[in-house]
Structure 1
Amino acid sequence: MKHTAPTKISGISQTGTSVNPLHLLQKAVSIRVPLNSYLVAVFLGTFFSALAIYLEWNSLGYLLLGFFALFIPITALTDRLLFDGKRVYRTGILPKIWAYINKSRISLKISSVEQVETQATRMLKRGGKVHYRYKTTIRGKSVSFNFASGGEDYRNMIRTIFPMISENILDNRSIELRDYISEPKQTLINASLENIPPADVLENSFRELQIKSRRENVSDAGNDGRSIEERVLGLRRLANELRLSGSLLQSLETFRRAALLKPADAWLLFDFARCLQSFAGSERNGKLERKAVAMMRLSEKRAGNDGDLLVRLGENYFQIGEWQRAGIVFQKAVEAVGETFRSVKGLAEIALREGKIAHVIHNFSHANRLAETPALRRWSKGEVEYFSRLNENDEYMEMEVSRVNLLDLLEGWKKNTLRIAFIGFPLIALGVIFEDNLLANAGWMVSSVSLMIWTAMILIGKMLSPRIPIELLEED
């Protein structure tokens, strides 16, 4: 039986009317950039201005304090990521100054986007609901832009930008956001209209997940005159919206009801498994994680010759560390529908994981020929050239391995150095309170030296993040 891929419904309104994303651009959509760098700057500036005042360098101290406590926050509030329908660009003062000094970009045409990745971080779990923070990165032409969830601005950016980008550029989670991102309150209202119980009622329902009978709690056609197919599509959409908004228990119940109506739907089983995976992670429940993998295997079995689903399954296997299974599924996709950009790219990543550089080059070369956009061809060509250099030049290989290893070490050192810096803060406070200069001086020394080292490691990490240009070796 042939299974069809899910409809790309990001441009569909709740009434089912097609919506062009450009119609949302009555004015440019924008979102505030993540404040991480600004907060670090304010923290360091405030600390060192306090140190200057402690050392009685009052003029310098107050000047630094004014700059970092007033000017930096103002620039942070004006720094936004903006999309005008053609390009993405930053509006902040400091990014423009840095781009001018560094001769780098602060804008990127939507047609030049090469990669879009979204990461989800569990921030808080409360009352059966998991609060996720989504961080999306858009890359292209050696520039990247980050923006994070936290309100309607994020949803507007996703709804506007993602439908305009080739699906082969989006990762799994970005595709899900494109298709199912919604306003959480409206999603909960829709759930109540489908008689989905609230999270506290479902609290213990999915510790032992079972789908026993097709008729359990769900009638074949529902009470609203919809066919089984229509009802399953509606439940599946609602379940995915609930999952992305963090209402995992209600999402699982919605998926369960849909699965009772259509238990052999491979795409439904895949989405159900993704939701169960998220729930298992939030509960730290190994048994549920194994059930999620088993459900993915069932989806794989039901997928037949659906190449799109097989590729998505392969990517999910790869994400959870089932690399051998991922390779098998990518190969299945190739055998089912022939080579596609996404399946060949997946095989390249598997080969890289196994250290087979020649296979990596071969697969990325195929991906380059299969790429449907200039941006994807440019990216895949860059990957071919990079791994070819690694394969042909032992010195370059050693330099790249050293760079990656040093980056890993820096991450650990940064955490330890910051912990040491925080140890000095109580010493400073106690020294000031009890007028013990020796104790205060020790605290200032420990914290200031640690923070200077920490700052240096951040800068070194940023310098080492890009791949080493081969031209450096050629010049030597």
Structure 2
Amino acid sequence: MSRTLIRILSDSTQNQLREALAAKSSGQFSTQTKLADVRVSPGAYLAAAALLTFVSLVCLRTNRNLAALILIAGTWTAIPLLVFTNRISFDGYSLSRRGLVSFITRLLTRREQSLSVDDIERVEVATLRTLRRGGNVRYRYRIEIAGKELFLVFASGGKGFRRMARTLLPLIPDYKLDGRACELRDHLKDASIVRAEA
């Protein structure tokens, strides 16, 4: 009896698997491709690492050597891992946070760390001018996106940022963007589009 039950169950799971594969091949399921991906700014992680390093030095000063060793080793093992895995990706429809921090937050709050383009309430861009050797001025941008009790922040510093800003900002209505966000959106347009508009 148990063998026939196992055989029936295995046949039903095989049938479900076949149906799912057929639906996938016919295009019923949409595969979400990642259009842009950017690493989250490591500033908060580095501040936490500095604070925990200071606490480990206090432990070392008060002759708690084992606690200091565990704290410093744990800090400088975990923080780089968290920094390198924490990313924001955009698939054309929604922004989602990926990485270990997002996974832990999702387990604790039972809420997905994603925000659709329609749910974005405001976008603010902060600019910072940096002076380079030779008198060259470079701009650094920091984009803050808020909506539905979720706050996402990422900064410039690579091709991922340009791709993210170029694909995301044109999809957001103007009334949700601040002035600098509109300027950044227009600045990152293709040169042929800018020439056609001029």
TM-score, length-normalised on structure 1? 0.32
Aligned counterpart, 1:146: 153
Aligned counterpart, 2:48: 41
CA RMSD of aligned residues (A): 2.5
TM-score, length-normalised on structure 2? 0.73
Q: Is the 8 A contact 2:86 2:97 kept in 1?
A: yes
1:87 to 73, 89, 94: 94
Correspondence 1:74 to 2:81: yes
Aligned counterpart, 1:31: 38
Amino acid at match of 1:40: A
- State how far apart, in whole Å, the 1-side matches of 2:47 and 2:152 are: 18
Q: Is the 8 A contact 1:155 1:182 kept in 2?
A: no
Provide the secondary structure at the position in 1 that maps to 2:46.
Answer: helix
| Residue 171 (structure 1) shift | 1.4
Larger RCO: 1 or 2 (CA < 8 Å, sep 6+): 2
Structure 1 residues 391-433: Cα deviation after superposition (integer angstroms, max 9, x where no partner): xxxxxxxxxxxxxxxxxxxxxxxxxxxxxxxxxxxxxxxxxxx
Provide the secondary structure at the position in 2 that maps to 1:48.
Answer: helix
| Residue 62 (structure 1) shift | 1.1
Provide the secondary structure at the position in 1 that maps to 2:142.
Answer: strand
Unaligned runs of 5+ in 2: 1-31
Which has more strand, going by share of residues?
2
Aligned counterpart, 1:179: 186
| Residue 99 (structure 1) shift | 4.7
Q: Is the 8 A contact 2:33 2:91 kept in 1?
A: no
| Residue 142 (structure 1) shift | 1.8
- State how far apart, in whole Å, the 2-side matches of 1:104 and 1:124 are: 42
Amino acid at match of 1:57: R
| Residue 124 (structure 1) shift | 2.1
Provide the secondary structure at the position in 1 that maps to 2:55.
Answer: helix
Amino acid at match of 1:98: T
| Residue 127 (structure 1) shift | 3.3
- State how far apart, in whole Å, the 2-side matches of 1:108 and 1:99 are: 14
Amino acid at match of 1:31: V
Aligned counterpart, 1:463: none
Amino acid at match of 2:70: L
Q: Is the 8 A contact 2:123 2:146 kept in 1?
A: yes
Structure 1 residues 308-338: Cα deviation after superposition (integer angstroms, max 9, x where no partner): xxxxxxxxxxxxxxxxxxxxxxxxxxxxxxx
Q: Is the 8 A contact 2:166 2:189 kept in 1?
A: no
Q: Is the 8 A contact 2:40 2:153 kept in 1?
A: yes
| Count of aligned pairs between the two proteins | 164
| Residue 33 (structure 1) shift | 0.3
Q: Is the 8 A contact 1:89 1:107 kept in 2?
A: yes
Higher Rg of the two aligned structures:
1
Unaligned runs of 5+ in 1: 1-24, 188-232, 238-476
Aligned counterpart, 2:118: 111
